[in-house]
Copies of this chain bind each other. A is one copy, B any other.
């Protein structure tokens, strides 16, 4: 079989290891597999899906890094406790959908700026580059819980309207309409006190501690695609991350 075209065994665009992941995720989400249950071993998965060991292994390794399963040498692979998908870059809309919360956003401002030098620098652009600046209030379960300010290079997203942003997820617009695949985000987190205007928007007292997150989101081409500054109500939002040794 050596030398056989990959197209034969993979007519669509989905890699085999992702199919395997999908099958496992489905069994976890449907409740068929509960936390602590053993997942099919590498060898079993290889047989079931008719792939080599390395491919089955790749599927499990990636699932472990996403926190969905836990692997123990000599013992097996087990379903992890149902934590949030840490280390996974997801849009507000996607996150809320995952927790089955009613969520919406209100566009506070929408326009072009060309004098935000720090932001331009972070995006690795000339300091006078025209940037599209969008401020949005994020609301979940009828409570405001974050103010997010996004900056995008105006040239690359020409035609983007306030209405489009108000209607749907910014991520899906970028990935769908503009065909830019987002890859990862470097995030900087610290705490800050709510300024009067922000406090008012979030309906919290002045100087309330807020979680501040600055995201620099990159495309698969390694280019900075957008910059997001978020201020989160700490009583409604805690961030989860997994770090490896």
Contacts and interface: CB of A to CB of B under 8 A. Distances in A.
- Within the oligomer, what is the number of copies of this chain? 2
A153 B110 CA distance: 53
Contact of A243 (B54, B70, B89, B211): B89
Interface string A201-245: 000000111111000000001100000000000100111111111
A184 B89 contact: no
Interface in A183-197: 183-193
Most buried by B among A238, A243, A244: A243
A39 interface: no
B244 A183 contact: yes
A224 to B, nearest CB: 11
A88 interface: yes
Contacts of A87: 87, 241, 243-244
A130 interface: no
A188 B207 CA distance: 22
B88 A187 contact: no
Most buried by B among A209, A210, A234: A209
A95 to B, nearest CB: 12
B188 A239 contact: yes
Contacts of A72: 221-222
30 contacts: A70-B222, A72-B221, A72-B222, A78-B222, A83-B186, A86-B186, A87-B244, A88-B243, A88-B245, A90-B245, A181-B245, A182-B245, A183-B244, A184-B245, A185-B245, A187-B242, A187-B243, A188-B238, A188-B239, A189-B189, A189-B211, A189-B238, A189-B240, A190-B237, A192-B209, A192-B234, A193-B208, A207-B207, A209-B209, A211-B211
